[in-house]
Each structure stands twice: as C-alpha cells, then as structure tokens.
Amino acid sequence: MENLIKIKKRVERLRREIDKFRYEYHVLDKPDVSDEVYDSLMRELREYEKNYPDLRSSDSPSQRVGGEPLKKFEKVRHKYRQWSLDDAFSFSEVKKWEEKILRILSKKNPNIQYSTLPTGRQVSKNYLEYCCEVKIDGLKIILTYENGLLVRAATRGDGVIGENVTEQVKTIQSIPLKLNRPVDITVVGEAWMRKSYLEGLNREREKENLPPFANSRNAAAGSIRQLDPKITAKRRLDSFIYDIDEIEIKSANQNLKVPETQVEELELLENLGFKVNKNHKLCKNLEEAEAFFISWSDKKDKQEYGIDGLVIKINNNKLQRELGYTGKSPRWALAYKFVPEKVTTIVEDIKVQVGRTGALTPVAHLRPIQVAGSTVSRATLHNEDEIKRLDIRIGDTVVIHKAGDVIPEVVEVLKNLRTGKEKKFRMPAKCPICGGEVKKETIHKDTKKQNTKNIQDTKYQIPDTKLSAAHYCQNKKCFAVEKENIIHFVSRKGFDIEGLGEKIVEQLMNEGLVSNVADIFELKKGDLEPLERFAEKSAENLVNSIDNSKKIDFTKFLYALGIRHVGEETAVLVTRNAKRVTQNEISDLADIIKVFPKISAEGWLKIKGIGEKSAKSLSGWFNSEENIKLIKKMRDLGVEVIFPKFQISNFKFQNLSFVLTGEMESMTRDEAKEKIRALGGDVSGSVSRSTDFVVVGKNPGSKYDKARELGVKIIEENEFIRMIK
C-alpha cells in the first residue's frame, strides 16, 4: 500500500513537471528543457500508467497528442483526430512492432499467411511492404481544401482541437492556395524553418535582447503563432506534406483515383501541387528499412531541415484500416527515432566499487533506461568532488548522457522533482569491501625552485603536491582489488579464459580456491565439481579453457598483469623494444624473471611513447619480490609466453599512426589493431594532427568528424585491407 502511495505521488509530480515543460514549449514557445528530456519523462509516466491503469486520468499529459492551443487564436475542431506515433529507439523494438502487426493481421484473417518479403522477390498480396519517410522535426499543420481551394489551416493542438492559422500558413510559399485539381481534400504535413535562416534570425533576436530559438522547430512554431501574418511572412517558412486524411474526387477528375498505398498518396500529393519530401523509400522488409535508417543517421545533420528519425508505415492502405488505432496511436505506423543522447531516470542508490588500483568510485544505480541504443542501469559519478558539484542525492531524478560507446554519466539533477526524502551521500571512511583505511593519495608533481640567489641549493626546492580526487583503499590485499585484478587478468584482451566470469571468480575466491592470478592454473576438475553452478561437463570445460590459455603472446601477458598505467598500447611498445632496452634476447618467462627487475624507470623511459607514470609503474612492479614470485609460479604451472620475432623489413607501417572508428565487416577492431601493430604501426584511441590514417567502418563516430576537421587521411575498410595484404 505504501509503495502504491509513493508511485501515485511520483506520477502526480511527473504530470506537474511535464505539463510545465509542455506549456513553456507549446504555448509560450520558450522551452526550458530539450525534447530528449521531455520525451524521457513522458515515457516514464506512460510506463507507470501502463502498469497501474487506475492511476490513468483524462487530464494526464500522456493523453495529449500535442499541447494546449493559444487562446488568442480561434479554436477549430479537427474532422479526423490527429494521432501521435509510438516511438522506437532500437531495431529490436521495431521488430517487436512488426511481430505485433503480424499477430493482429493473422487473427483478423486466419486463412491468410502474412509475412515480409525477402529482398529481391516480387510482391504478392499477402506480403507487407513499408513506406519509410524521414521524420521532419517541424510544426504539424492540417490543411483543408474545398474544390481545390485552401479554406483552412490548423495546428495539431491537442489532437482534437487545434488553432486556426490559415492567414499565417498562406504566407508559406510552398503551400498552394489553389491545387492543380478541384478536389476536396484534407492533408497533413510539417511547417519548418531553414537552419541557415534560423542562424540569422537568432542574431537579430539577440540584438533586440530576445531569447534565441533553440532549434528550427521552435522557430517554426513561434512564427506560425504570430498574430500578425506579416511577421510570419518575414520568417520564410517552408513545408513538406506527407499524409491524406480525407479525399473526395469530383466527377470532373475521372482520371484521378483514390490512393491504395502510402507511396501512391505521396505521388498524388506531389501531382496536386504540394511540396513532398523526396527522401522516402519503399522497403520490402525491415532489414531494408534499417539500412535506410542507418544511411540517414549520417546525413540528417547536413540537411537544412531538422530530422529526428524515420517514420515507418505499412504501405497498403487497406491493411492500415484493418490494423486501426490504439487509444492514441495508429498501429500501422511507427516513429523510429535516432537514439537520444540524453534521457531522465531515477537514482535508486549510490554505491562504491573498488577497482584493481584500490580506487573507490561512487556509482549511481539507476532505474533502467534505454539511451544510445542500450539499456543503462548504472552511471559513474567519478569521485566525491563530482557528487558535490552536481549536488546529487539518492532518490533524485537525473539527466544522463551517453554518446556512442562513451560510459554513461549524470549531467544534471532535476531538483524540482525532489520530494524532500532524498538522501545525501558521503564517501566511506573505511573500504566497503575489506574495512581497510581509505584516504586520498598525495600527488607529487615536478619539483619547482624558489627564485633565490643560491638556486642550486636543494633546500629551496619545494615539491608541488596536491591530493588526488579519488579515495584509495590502503589495504593491498583487499578482496575487491584482488578480484578486479583476476577479472582483468582473464579478460578477452588478457588470457581470454572462457567461462571465468565475474561471478565465478568471486565464487572461487570465496571458496578459498583462488587468491591471486597464479592460483587459476592450479585448478583441477575435482576442485570445481562440488561447487554450485558446476557440473562435470562445465568443470571440465573450464579446466580445458585454462589449459588452452597457458600459451600467450607477451603483449597480452603484460596487459593481463594489470600494472597501473600499462594498457594495450604500452604493452605493445614494451614488446617491440624489450630487447633494445634490456640489451638481452628475451624469449620466455625465465628471461623476464632474470632481466626485467634490473630495469629502472629511466630505462623504461628510453622507449619512445612510454611516459613517466608508466615507466615508474613498470619499474616498481617488476622490482617487487612478491610479483616475481607470482610469475615464477605461473611458469612452474606451465604458462608459456611467446615473444613475436618482428622482422624490420616487414614493418611497412613503421612510424605510422592509425585510428579506427565504426564497425568493420571483414574483421573485428581488435583483429585490425593486431594487424597494424604486427606491421609496425601504432593504434591510437583519438584523432590528432599527428594521426596518419583514420580507418572508417559502418556507423563511424565523432573520430570521423574530427579527422575531416583536421584534414587527416580517411580510408575505408576495403582500402585498409589492400594496405595490409
């Protein structure tokens, strides 16, 4: 009962906040938040109302299609309700929509087998087709013509009642006042403003101390809602028309016919004199629709008008009528939106995780939400300073951001949604795992010299120090640190031991079977079989996987050790230059045990590309007697390290730097990196002026844009394949 009361209060607060945002956006034309934040809050509200139907009410923002009309305009009732579209943000959601459509059609017509058409096949009447159109981010307008003459233009309003904006819409040059044929027709489309014109308009508004429009859609809405049509005319709006609500063809137009498909509707609209967006495609299946969607994810920002996704419609009008509508949306159409970079959710808890370096990182445990194509339930809060900056509390509603494959992070707290029951968070004084002391580390920077007469006197050298932002567990044997070390050790980029995931590692540590990375190689089938989650076969599989991992390239071995500040690239540099630095032939673990402890930080610094932090870490790690014992134990248990025998003559990529972006078809990104390194090249995670090549796959990210901006040579996958052959 108490839980339901809390949910009811949450729903009421959401409604108030959404309605406030809606009023600022649709009525005042002064949005306070982005569309992404508004949509995210609305989705949360709809989810509550779906799960708790008794909380649904007719005045809920979720029951609206648009917003309240401005009272200064004449209200008009639409003959046909103006529906909103259901949203999808991933291809899996689109597939589920199609599955639902097929189920509905099969129920209505049990004797007909409905499905989509494989690419290349001819259409038969029982196959679905999809008309896919770019989704214009403008202001929806409904135009009514009688005998071919424009008699009324209205905004969508709340979907039932809109605003009469006929005089304002007449100023849009692309909207015909008289059609090419004398038909009675009601059509639907979007009014929009060119981005290039918007830039100039905003400069003028700033000169007049007026707030700039956030985007071209807001500018179009503000322009249409000007009471004086002369102001609207100055805004030079444009339009795209894409739907027919109703059409009656006069007897004088016998050569015209009522469209039977959405594609035919678009053709008829164009023939009647409307401006129709050319960027639509008839797709025989959703795979073709997905390819069309992906192609526009790259092109959308280069257009003069805003595009926020793709509208997928069942092409056959008869099937549209059979599918009908839900309470607010057509079943036969879907808005497939480009993934939002910002969404809202709730911080259900803040917990501290301990990494393999001993660093304590506060992590927000979130109510699961989809953003940028994946479901997010956690977001790093970095450190105590970041928590104070955001003033984030347990129970807060927050905005999270995730672009591409970047780790999600909290960017804003919506404090207006606070109830007063939110809890402040404080970093623990003791490690939450082992109970050890926690403190910030002292960072020693370069020594600076006082401006004195005796500048060589060391007593005047004052170390420039400060405390780290992160807190660290001081117990080197902390369970969490050891666990993270082992997880890192067995990961794909390390020993790649299949079947040894986080939960199994924790189980083995709890049972006392594994306390460090070397213990893994002592595991026997009989050790595992009595444990929960293990049977004879799974125990045998894990032991085999461990045995198969014992022969490993030195680069992966060094990475697996988890030495601080030693990642993939540093491991590659050490592998290539080990012989030069040690002045010895390094071929196995025995050589490493014998030679590496002798190398000082200054010795490691001789390798180009290795910095001071990495050099100190390498020196410190290999000069630890405990760590050398660990390597000896691995050697004695059969671990064999392979050093590549690089041939200088084969280093065709020597001194060349590569950056990879997007999905590759012929190989994985990791395989591509290995091929580049094997040919003497370097792989970087970011683009700079010193980058030689950016290799571009499908759906490239911001690295592609950065390369274009800096003039770095961009090569596609097929050219890269030719280079490595």
Nearest Cα to 631, choosing from 586, 594, 601, 670? 594
The runs of H, that is alpha helices, within 225-341 are: 229-234, 262-272, 286-299, 317-323
Secondary structure class of 311 (helix, strand, coil): strand
- Please give the distance of CA 588 from its chain centroid, rounded to a whole number: 43
- Please give the distance of CA 332 from its chain centroid, rounded to a whole number: 27
Q: Characterize 104-120 residue by residue with b for buried, 16 or more Cβ atoms within 10 angstroms of its Cβ, and e for exposed.
A: bbeeeeeeeebebbeee
What dihedral do alpha carbons 294, 300, 301, 302 form, nearest 10°? 110
Query: Rounded distance, CA 395 to CA 347, Å?
Result: 5
Q: Which residue has the tokens 């981010």?
A: 137
Nearest Cα to 517, choosing from 567, 480, 562? 562
Structure tokens at 161: 């009642």
Secondary structure class of 544 (helix, strand, coil): helix
Residues 6 or more apart whose CB falls under 8 angstroms from that of 303 comprise none
Query: Rounded distance, CA 176 to CA 26, Å?
Result: 26
Nearest Cα to 158, choosing from 22, 64, 225? 64
Within 10 angstroms of residue 453's Cβ, the number of other Cβ atoms is 6
What dihedral do alpha carbons 630, 631, 636, 637 form, nearest 10°? 80
Residues 6 or more apart whose CB falls under 8 angstroms from that of 584 comprise 591, 595
Q: How far apart are the first and last CA of the chain?
A: 68
Structure tokens at 510: 């709890």
Q: Are 414 and 397 in contact (CB under 8 A)?
A: yes
Burial group, residue 136, by CB count within 10 angstroms (0-12, 13-18, 19+)? buried
Show which residues are catalytic: 135
Query: Rounded distance, CA 519 to CA 521, Å?
Result: 5
Q: Which residue has the tokens 């595991």?
A: 523
- Please give the distance of CA 59 from its chain centroid, rounded to a whole number: 33
β pairing state of 693-696 and 657-661 = parallel
Query: Rounded distance, CA 690 to CA 126, Å?
Result: 57
Secondary structure class of 232 (helix, strand, coil): helix
Q: Residue 115: which H helix or E strand, with range?
A: strand 115-116
Secondary structure class of 87 (helix, strand, coil): strand
Backbone angles phi, psi at 419, to 5 degrees: -105, -10
Structure tokens at 351: 């917990």
Secondary structure class of 126 (helix, strand, coil): coil
DSSP state of 355: -
β pairing state of 139-146 and 149-155 = antiparallel
Burial group, residue 360, by CB count within 10 angstroms (0-12, 13-18, 19+)? buried
Nearest Cα to 623, choosing from 603, 599, 657? 599
Residues 6 or more apart whose CB falls under 8 angstroms from that of 158 comprise 64, 65, 66, 67, 68, 69
Structure tokens at 637: 């248990």
Query: Rounded distance, CA 524 to CA 546, Å?
Result: 10
